[in-house]
Amino acid sequence: MSDLTLAVDIGGTKFAAGLVEPDGQVVTAERAATPQGGDAETLWRTLTSLLDRLDVPAALAGVGVGCGGPMTWPEGEVSPLNMGGWRGFPLRGRLAARFPGVPVRIHNDAVCLAVAEHWCGAGRGSAAMLGMVVSTGVGGGLILGGRLIDGGTGNAGHIGHVVVDPEGPPCGCGGNGCLEAIARGPGLAAWALAQGWSPGDAATEGDLYREEGTATARRLAADAAAGDAIALAAMARAGRALGVAIASAVNLCDLDLVTVGGGLSQAGDLLFGPLEEALREHTRMEFAGRVRVVPAALGQDAGLVGAAALVIEGDRYWRPGL
């Protein structure tokens, strides 16, 4: 048996697959754009042709998969919100048939990013951590007692649906006033537009905010950096909402660390300043005051690293007996 793990990262913008060493090093990786509007088999063929391009050894330690939610878990029938072609698609089962005899483990993509930060990134050594992604949506994963918390159904970590304003705007989940409704890129851009913001000509180069649907949020951040009052207010509103939701999570779960990744997190102090201010206002108990909020440390391979960790570090990141 090889000591390499096959890692797969399935998102609405791109598919990635790679081979990962036992220490978390990604040896080789392949990427492809997600076929927009593709049906179930088109999406599956995109994945299998990626796998064909990798030199996957005959024997593997296992297969780890991160995929957008929702999904049945741990069964891994996936219905990613932004991939209409897969509804109840047996992704774990298909991969298990292709790679028989080794564990095939799947989790939410935001959970995999949190796991990656805890294993190899900014969260190393934390006993109680929330790993967040702030982008088109707001997601996360919880590590408590040094172990990934899956909750009853694999859905722990939905920080985006902590309520920050019970009378707030409607959320994609069907509720209202959730953090995600306010702080997701498109949500904060929509708020700014409603306040009369007129998008300027921002630079669109580089790797910032490359996630689908955040182009407008990118312009918003650039306008805020240039001093536009409405854009600044929009970033402050999102930052404060993040701070309030993080405070609730810290008070409830006694966290020592929160990592924040995703495109919007690259807005820097425009977002993190108001975030810290609101967080400190709402974490006044001594234990809660120790929490640190830091940017995620891993780059574009983070999803692969976290998916591989489900197999390589299963004692910490996978529930025994599953």
Task: Please give the C-alpha separations between residue 312 and each of 3, 95, 105, 126, 215, in angstroms, as whole numbers.
Answer: 9, 17, 11, 19, 36
Q: How far is the CB of 81 from a copy of itself (least distance, A)?
A: 11
Q: How far is the CB of 173 from a copy of itself (least distance, A)?
A: 5
Q: How far is the CB of 289 from a copy of itself (least distance, A)?
A: 10
Q: How far is the CB of 255 from a copy of itself (least distance, A)?
A: 7
Cβ-based nearer residue to a copy of itself, 93 or 146: 146
Task: Please give the C-alpha separations between residue 228 and each of 10, 187, 209, 231, 265, in angstroms, as whole numbers.
Answer: 36, 18, 19, 5, 19
- Provide the b/e sequence for 175-185 (b: ≥16 CB within 10 Å): eebbbbbbbbb
Q: How far is the C-alpha of 138 from the C-alpha of 134, rounded, in Å?
A: 5
91, 74 in Cβ contact below 8 A?
Answer: no
Q: Which single residue is written with the structure tokens 């854009």?
A: 231
Task: Please give the C-alpha separations between residue 221 and each of 192, 231, 271, in angstroms, as whole numbers.
Answer: 11, 7, 9
Phi, psi of 230 (to 5 degrees): -70, -40
Q: How far is the C-alpha of 79 from the C-alpha of 275, rounded, in Å?
A: 32
Q: How far is the CB of 179 from a copy of itself (least distance, A)?
A: 9
What contacts 81, CB < 8 A, 6 or more positions away?
Answer: 12, 68, 69, 70, 137, 172
Q: Which single residue is written with the structure tokens 């805890």?
A: 118
Cβ-based nearer residue to a copy of itself, 60 or 179: 179
Q: How far is the CB of 292 from a copy of itself (least distance, A)?
A: 11
Cβ-based nearer residue to a copy of itself, 258 or 304: 258
| Order of strands across the sheet that contains 71-72 | 71-72, 77-78, 89-90
Token pair belonging to 96: 């298990």
Q: How far is the CB of 283 from a copy of itself (least distance, A)?
A: 7
Cβ-based nearer residue to a copy of itself, 59 or 252: 252
Cβ-based nearer residue to a copy of itself, 94 or 147: 147
Task: Please give the C-alpha separations between residue 153 and each of 42, 73, 74, 131, 156, in angstroms, as whole numbers.
Answer: 29, 6, 8, 19, 8
Cβ-based nearer residue to a copy of itself, 18 or 137: 137
Q: How far is the CB of 152 from a copy of itself (least distance, A)?
A: 4
List contacts with a copy of itself (CB under 8 A). 70, 126-128, 142, 144-145, 147, 149-159, 161-166, 173-178, 240, 244-245, 247-249, 251-256, 278, 281-288, 290, 319
Cβ-based nearer residue to a copy of itself, 38 or 175: 175
Cβ-based nearer residue to a copy of itself, 92 or 218: 92
